[in-house]
Structure 1
Amino acid sequence: MTWDEMRPLLEQACSETLTMVGLSSLVTAVVGLPLGVVLSLTDRGGLLPCVVVNKTLGALVNLTRSLPFIILLIALIPFTRWAVGTSIGVDAAVVPLSVGAVPFFARLVETSVREVDHGLVEAVQSMGGGVWAVVRKVLLPESLPSLVSGLTTTVIALIGYSAMAGAVAAGGLGDLAVRYGYQRFENGLMIATVLLLVVLVTGVQVVGDLLARALDHRGGRAGHGPFRIRPRMPRHPSR
């Protein structure tokens, strides 16, 4: 297969992969962020401790995370067909991709929120701030660099998941690799597919790292967050 023959196939497959990963990443961020915050708030020692809610959500998250994605992909075919009207193609792939990534990202969010300095939380509470004020003014802003890093890791995992989704004709680079690289032994196309996946993963990682560093106000720059620490001016000795 010549480059002129491979090029339109690669362009279409790359566009499908970007669409799948982009839509599922958006769903994952919208659903996984509040889910992770709730897991943190309802845990023991949290602002809203509730064993029933925490254990129930935790069990669902752990159950979904324990399933290999290829099994989850097949198990969700009836639900996917009900949700989007089909079990193949890009639209259908977004459903299992989102279901698989939401609990993964939620656990990363939970860990990031737990790492926030508890002294800042007590400071807001001492000023009369409620739970929502603590979440909005402390937990999310202070954990933002870690949240961005977690989302970057999740997007990279979604790229790998999208390649596996090609096994069930979901489209994208994985589907192209299966149909041409594996079934038709087109080694050149397989190599090109692998290189494109490497470029996508590297690009996401670089952008995510740069954004996380830009948002990080720690490490020698304390006091640039919502709670600024002003250094005390030295007192002049009385004359």
Structure 2
Amino acid sequence: MQAFYSRWGNVIFKATIETFQMVTIAMFFAVLIGLPLGVLLTLTRKNGSLENRWVYQGLNTLINLIRSIPFIILLFYILPFTKLLVGTSIGVKGVIVPLVVHTAPFVARLMESALLEVDRGVVEAYEAMGVSTPKIIWYVIIREARPAIVLGLTMAIIALIGATAMAGLVGAGGLGNLAYSYGHLRYEVSVMHTTVLLLIVLVQCLQSLGNHLATRLRKE
């Protein structure tokens, strides 16, 4: 155990930090894009507060198109765009763009589903009182949907962790790249087992945290 830690400790720690960097940065921008899209999808759909068939169909089609492309294909397909935007297509910096493009539509769908769970009668009551649409969105719809939003974001983060594993193919680093480069290509079985164990623990902790937060929000 001591020999393994001495040899691989720093490498595994560095890979773990890289995974956290990719997930944190990509998730921040995905929520920044996905949450407004989810709200817009909810409001512009049929019988929504801002019903607009053309806006809804346009967003719906765009989101479906992006979500239909597997991440590994999207990763290479938008390499020129990634390089144009951030100046590189490798490393942690180079994989953030495809991770955001891949995750934002998923977040938008999760947010749409969460917001649609809010009782329409509650929204109509506030509309009848003359409360403005922005206030209804923030203080009523999003507030009522917080438990579902937390669970949805938890699901998105876990899916994003899986995507970062494939990002190692462009030299992004992270636990996925560690498992592939050392565990698979160099037949370091102990590294592979350690990486898998770390990912299992990480996912379990995130899911437990998400469930706990959602439960607390339901009680408020």
- Listed as ranges, the matches of 1:137-148 within 5 Å are 137-148=139-150
Choose 1 or 2 for highest CA Rg.
Answer: 1
Aligned position for 1:228: none
Residue 192 in 1 paired to residue 194 in 2?
yes
* AA matched with 2:108: A
For structure 1, list consecutive stretches of 5 or more residues without a partner in the other structure: 218-223, 225-239
Name the residue aligned to 2:36: 34
Question: In the TM superposition, what are the counterparts of 1:45-194 in structure 2 within 5 Å?
Answer: 45-194=47-196
Opposite residue 72 of structure 1, the aligned amino acid is L
Distance in 2 between residues matched to 1:98 and 1:126, nearest whole Å: 38
The CA distance in 2 between the partners of 1:49 and 1:2, in whole Å, is: 60
Q: Does 1:14 align with 2:11?
A: no
- Residue 175 of structure 1 aligns with an amino acid whose one-letter code is N
What is the CA–CA distance in structure 2 between the aligned matches of 1:122 and 1:29, rounded to whole Å?
27
Give deviations 1:107-160, integer Å, cap 9, x for gaps.
011111111111111111111112112112210000011001000000000000
Distance 1:137 1:15 in 2: 36
Distance in 1, Cα, partners of 2:208 & 2:135: 33
Farther off after superposition, 1-10 or 64-73: 1-10
RMSD between aligned residues: 1.1
Contact between 1:13 and 1:172, CA under 8 Å: does it hold in 2? yes
Counterpart amino acid of 1:16? E
Post-superposition shift, 1:3? Answer: 2.7
- Give the TM-score, by structure 1 length: 0.89
Unpaired runs of at least 5, structure 2:
none
Secondary structure at the counterpart of residue 37 of structure 1? helix
SS in structure 1 of the partner of residue 38 of structure 2: helix
For 1:92 and 1:186, locate their aligned partners in 2 and report how far apart those are by CA, in whole Å. Answer: 27
For 2:162 and 2:204, the matched residues in 1 are separated by 13
Number of residue equivalences: 218
Question: What's the TM-score, normalizing by structure 2?
Answer: 0.96
SS class of match (1:177) = helix
What secondary structure sits across from 2:160 in the alignment? Answer: helix
Q: Percent identity?
A: 46
Q: Which runs of 4+ in 1 moved over 2 A?
A: none
Question: SS of the residue aligned with 1:216?
Answer: helix
Aligned partner letter, 2:172? A
